[in-house]
């Protein structure tokens, strides 16, 4: 049995197979082909944080594959009232075929994997967001071909998405420049683990030189709302705008996992401009995760 808790839980070969299969599934879906490979299968989706893309893509994805998805908010299940994670993992996994979790504590996801009996999918923790990277890598491949040997620049917070880009740099063989304000670098253990694939900057212009893809994310992630004002000051020189994009290669692309704040981490001219791939990136959550579900369940 396999889990998908961090991107590097899977081999590069398997990750590439999932992405290639996702591209096929997308074409088949758009051509109206019915695929009920997951008929009678149930995915439990546990959320203690908000979501638009993750919830809709997993739920629609299970429906399209002939199965069913259960939305379980922590406000509705006993987990939110203190039932132990271990007990919850044993019980839910005795009734469903896979569990997707968006929870604050990465340890809770590992705990489910240790105590449950079905595949566990990390749908965002404070540490990482591997499902998003499947969609991002699929999107790059569709638009630009292989990302191997390319340069990607992360601009902004050294957060869960940044950590997962570090894992992707190793898995997919690209160079990752990371531009953050001082004090907002990725966690040290990630820097130590992925040091051969990354270069750290405190200057966004320098980090964007000769890059093929510029990626950013919100300055204050879910759970950091109280730091919004402080972060707006710290990140003021880290907005991805047309001026910053001028440092990148002329055919460079832009990605953002969304939700985005125009006028903060990205200007409207970039996110709504010709270099932006964000709408395909969002849609590809559906196709990439359908492929992931088939890989884990079929």
Site residues for ligand CP per CB under 6 A:
51-54, 124, 132, 257-259
Question: How far apart, in whole angstroms, are the C-alpha atoms of residue 102 and residue 14?
Answer: 23
- Of these partners, ligand NVA, ligand CP, none, which one is at the site of residue 80 (CB under 5 to 8 Å by kind)? none
Rounded least distance, CB 256 to ligand CP, Å = 9
142: nearest Cα among 274, 283, 257: 283
Q: Catalytic pick from 102, 106, 163, 231?
A: 102
Is there binding between residue 187 and ligand NVA (CB under 6 A)? no
Is there binding between residue 222 and ligand NVA (CB under 6 A)? yes
159, 216, 275, 284: which one contacts ligand NVA (CB under 6 A)?
A: 159
Strand spans (E) along the chain = 42-47, 68-73, 98-102, 120-122, 151-155, 175-179, 198-201, 213-216, 253-256
Q: Catalytic pick from 106, 256, 285, 287?
A: 285
Q: Is 81 a catalytic residue?
A: no
Question: How far apart, in whole angstroms, are the C-alpha atoms of residue 205 and residue 211?
Answer: 11
Q: How far is CA 175 from CA 45, 117, 217, 252, 261, in A?
A: 34, 37, 19, 14, 27
Instruction: For ligand CP, give the closer residue by CB, 108 or 151.
Output: 108
Q: Is 102 a catalytic residue?
A: yes
Region 234-273 residues binding ligand NVA, contact defined as CB under 6 A:
257
Question: How far apart, in whole angstroms, are the C-alpha atoms of residue 158 and residue 165?
Answer: 10
Sign of CA dihedral 132, 53, 223, 182: positive
3: Cβ contacts below 8 Å, ≥ 6 apart: 9, 113, 119, 120, 121, 296
Region 116-155 residues binding ligand NVA, contact defined as CB under 6 A:
124
- Of these partners, ligand CP, ligand NVA, none, which one is at the site of residue 70 (CB under 5 to 8 Å by kind)? none
- Of these partners, ligand NVA, ligand CP, none, which one is at the site of residue 218 (CB under 5 to 8 Å by kind)? ligand NVA
Is there binding between residue 164 and ligand NVA (CB under 6 A)? no
Rounded least distance, CB 264 to ligand NVA, Å = 13
Rounded least distance, CB 47 to ligand CP, Å = 9
Is there binding between residue 111 and ligand NVA (CB under 6 A)? no
Q: Are strands 42-47 and 120-122 parallel, antiparallel or unpaired?
A: unpaired
Q: How far is CA 262 from CA 52, 78, 186, 218, 271, in A?
A: 18, 38, 23, 10, 8
Q: Is 285 a catalytic residue?
A: yes
Rounded least distance, CB 40 to ligand NVA, Å = 31
48, 217, 264, 265: which one contacts ligand NVA (CB under 6 A)?
A: 217
Phi, psi of 252 (to 5 degrees): -65, 150
Q: Is 257 a catalytic residue?
A: yes
Q: Is 132 a catalytic residue?
A: yes
With beta carbons less than 8 A apart as the criterion, state whether 69 and 63 touch.
yes
Rounded least distance, CB 246 to ligand CP, Å = 27
Rounded least distance, CB 217 to ligand NVA, Å = 5
Question: How far apart, in whole angstroms, are the C-alpha atoms of residue 221 and residue 149?
Answer: 30
Is there binding between residue 215 and ligand NVA (CB under 6 A)? no
What amino acid positions are annotated as catalytic residues?
102, 129, 132, 217, 257, 285
Binding interface with ligand NVA (CB under 6 A):
124, 159-161, 217-218, 221-222, 257
């Amino acid at each position: 049995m396999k889990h998908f808790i961090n991107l590097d839980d899977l081999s590069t070969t398997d990750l590439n197979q999932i992405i290639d299969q996702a591209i096929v599934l997308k074409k088949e879906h758009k051509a109206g082909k019915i695929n009920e490979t997951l008929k009678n299968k149930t995915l439990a989706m546990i959320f203690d944080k908000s979501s638009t893309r993750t919830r809709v893509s997993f739920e629609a994805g299970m429906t399209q594959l002939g199965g069913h998805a259960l939305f379980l908010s922590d406000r509705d299940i006993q987990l939110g009232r203190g039932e132990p994670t271990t007990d919850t993992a044993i019980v839910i996994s005795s009734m469903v075929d896979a569990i997707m979790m968006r929870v604050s504590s990465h340890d809770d996801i590992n705990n489910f994997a240790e105590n449950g009996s079905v595949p566990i999918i990390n749908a965002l923790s404070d540490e990482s967001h591997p499902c998003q990277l499947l969609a991002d890598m699929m999107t790059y491949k569709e638009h630009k071909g292989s990302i191997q040997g390319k340069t990607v620049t992360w601009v902004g917070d050294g957060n869960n998405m940044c950590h997962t880009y570090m894992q992707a740099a190793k898995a997919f063989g690209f160079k990752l420049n990371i531009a953050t304000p001082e004090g907002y670098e990725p966690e040290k253990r990630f820097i130590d683990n992925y040091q051969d694939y990354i270069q750290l900057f405190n200057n966004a212009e320098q980090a964007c030189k000769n890059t093929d893809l510029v990626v950013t994310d919100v300055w204050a992630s879910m759970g950091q709302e109280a730091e919004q004002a402080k972060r707006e000051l710290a990140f003021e020189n880290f907005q991805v705008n047309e001026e910053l994009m001028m440092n990148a290669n002329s055919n460079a692309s832009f990605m953002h996992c969304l939700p985005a704040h125009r006028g903060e981490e990205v200007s409207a001219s970039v996110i709504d401009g010709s270099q932006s791939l964000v709408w395909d990136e969002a849609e590809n959550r559906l196709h990439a995760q359908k492929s992931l579900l088939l890989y884990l369940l079929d």
